[in-house]
């Protein structure tokens, strides 16, 4: 055959493939989620997330140091609140001596160059397991937003570099920005979970924090998986309200949403490869059905290709080690 085009030429050796690769992953692209628990010297395995642990603050500090040394630039912090501290008002969310503020301080002390981003939502603190305050079976918006704003200032005071509202209440980014400005935390950023879907893929995370909703589901605040224009609207609203970074979550089932949001806003776009996505890959790899490392890099690269600037992933440490 005499062909004028032979695309395979650009795939014919590792050298040429390296030269023409369109997207590259770097440890700087990755955010590592971390789970804090009370206690000392413990790393509790999470059954549905093999390889991921809940860490006491001393172990959390060690982990932060390791991540920093591997070139990771940011962590997402979550706290598992003991059951007896949960109530209908999510009171513990505003405790300045609570586990989350202490976890922020532990990470900042151990690894000062690591950016600490905190989850802002009420579900780990709420006896109803919902992201907002429940009244007559409904998740009330405005009252929740007041608490989220107060909680954000508390996190900033403890040393958080970014707060990351993951609750999907309306108007929370504006309220949080205003609260941070009026209290002098003008350098504290907001990474908004702007397009967060009502997804089954959060299951293992809810095991990790024991934060499953006590009744119903989260469909009155988290997004319908069938929608994409709505995601762009949410991201644009958050950008207009002052979000520094917007996020799409989950990741792999929503790559089209990542692309649409990337094209719809000017701020950086993050994507969250959530617990259930991690669990699926890990489970298949444990059975020898897929190669873990290849699946990890293939999925992380897919996020970059879809337009994400940052990727939150439970693979962050393993990926950074291999990069």
Q: Which residues are catalytic?
A: 196, 249
Number of residues that bind ligand PBG (CB under 6 A): 11
Side-chain-side CA neighbours of 199 within 13 Å: the count stands at: 22
For ligand PBG, the closer CB: 92 or 123: 123
CB of 131 to ligand PBG, least distance (A): 5
CB of 205 to ligand PBG, least distance (A): 3
- Select from 144, 152, 194, 275 the one that contacts ligand PBG (CB under 6 A): 275
For ligand PBG, the closer CB: 185 or 205: 205
Residues of span 277-316 touching ligand PBG by CB under 6 A: none
For ligand PBG, the closer CB: 45 or 112: 45
- 40-72 burial code (b ≥16 CB/10 A, e <16): eeeebebebbebbbbbbbebbbebbebbbebeb
Residues of span 87-146 touching ligand PBG by CB under 6 A: 119, 121, 123, 131
| 37 conformational bin, left if phi > 0, alpha if psi -120 to 50, beta if neither | beta
For ligand PBG, the closer CB: 125 or 185: 125
For ligand PBG, the closer CB: 51 or 58: 51
CB of 308 to ligand PBG, least distance (A): 16
For ligand PBG, the closer CB: 20 or 200: 200
CB of 41 to ligand PBG, least distance (A): 25
The span from the CA of 103 to the CA of 254, in Å, is 31
For ligand PBG, the closer CB: 56 or 199: 199
Binding mask 145-184 for ligand PBG (x = CB under 6 A): ---------------------xx-----------------
Residue at shortest CB range from ligand PBG: 205
CB of 42 to ligand PBG, least distance (A): 21
- Select from 274, 281, 311, 319 the one that contacts ligand PBG (CB under 6 A): 274
CB of 274 to ligand PBG, least distance (A): 4
CB of 182 to ligand PBG, least distance (A): 25
Question: What SS3 string covers the chain?
Answer: CCCCCCHHHHHCCHHHHHHHCCCCCCHHHEEEEEEECCCCCCEEECCCCCCCEEECHHHHHHHHHHHHHCCCCEEEEEECCCHHHCECCCHHHHCCCCHHHHHHHHHHHHCCCCEEEEEECCCCCECCCCCCEEECCEEEHHHHHHHHHHHHHHHHHHCCCEEEECCCCCCHHHHHHHHHHHCCCCCCEEEEEEEEECCHHHHHHHHHHCCCCCCCCCCCCCECCCCCHHHHHHHHHHHHHCCCEEEEECCHHHHHHHHHHHHHCCCCEEEEECHHHHHHHHHHHHCCCCCHHHHHHHHHHHHHHHCCCEEEECCHHHHHHHC
Binding mask 192-211 for ligand PBG (x = CB under 6 A): ----------x--xx-----
Residues lying near ligand PBG in the complex (CB under 6 A) are found at 119, 121, 123, 131, 166-167, 202, 205-206, 274-275
């Amino acid at each position: 055959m005499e062909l004028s085009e032979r695309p395979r030429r650009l795939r014919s050796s590792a050298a040429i493939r390296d030269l023409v690769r369109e997207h590259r992953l770097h440890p700087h692209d990755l955010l590592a989620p971390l789970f804090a628990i009370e206690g000392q010297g413990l790393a509790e395995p999470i059954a549905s997330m093999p390889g991921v642990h809940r860490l006491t603050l001393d172990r959390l500090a060690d982990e932060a140091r390791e991540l920093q040394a591997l070139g990771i630039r940011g962590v997402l912090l979550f706290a598992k609140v003991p059951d007896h501290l949960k109530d209908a008002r999510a009171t513990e969310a505003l405790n300045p001596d609570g586990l989350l503020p202490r976890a922020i301080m532990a990470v900042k002390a151990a690894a000062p160059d690591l950016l600490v981003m905190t989850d802002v939502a009420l579900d780990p603190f709420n006896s109803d397991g919902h992201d907002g305050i429940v009244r007559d079976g409904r998740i009330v918006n405005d009252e929740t937003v007041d608490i989220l704003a107060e909680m954000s200032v508390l996190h900033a005071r403890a040393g958080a570099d970014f707060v990351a509202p993951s609750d999907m209440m309306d108007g929370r980014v504006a309220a949080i920005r205003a609260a941070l400005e009026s209290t002098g935390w003008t350098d504290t950023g907001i990474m908004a979970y702007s397009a967060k879907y009502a997804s089954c893929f959060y299951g293992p995370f809810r095991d990790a924090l024991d934060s499953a909703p006590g009744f119903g589901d989260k469909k009155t605040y988290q997004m319908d998986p069938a929608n994409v224009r709505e995601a762009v609207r949410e991201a644009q609203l958050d950008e207009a309200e002052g979000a520094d970074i917007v996020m799409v979550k989950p990741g792999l089932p929503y790559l089209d949403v990542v692309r649409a949001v990337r094209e719809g806003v000017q701020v950086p776009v993050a994507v969250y490869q959530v617990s259930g996505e991690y669990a699926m890959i890990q489970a298949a790899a444990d059975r020898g059905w897929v190669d873990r490392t290849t699946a990890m890099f293939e999925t992380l690269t897919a996020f970059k290709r879809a337009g994400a600037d940052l990727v939150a992933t439970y693979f962050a440490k393993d990926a950074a080690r291999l990069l």
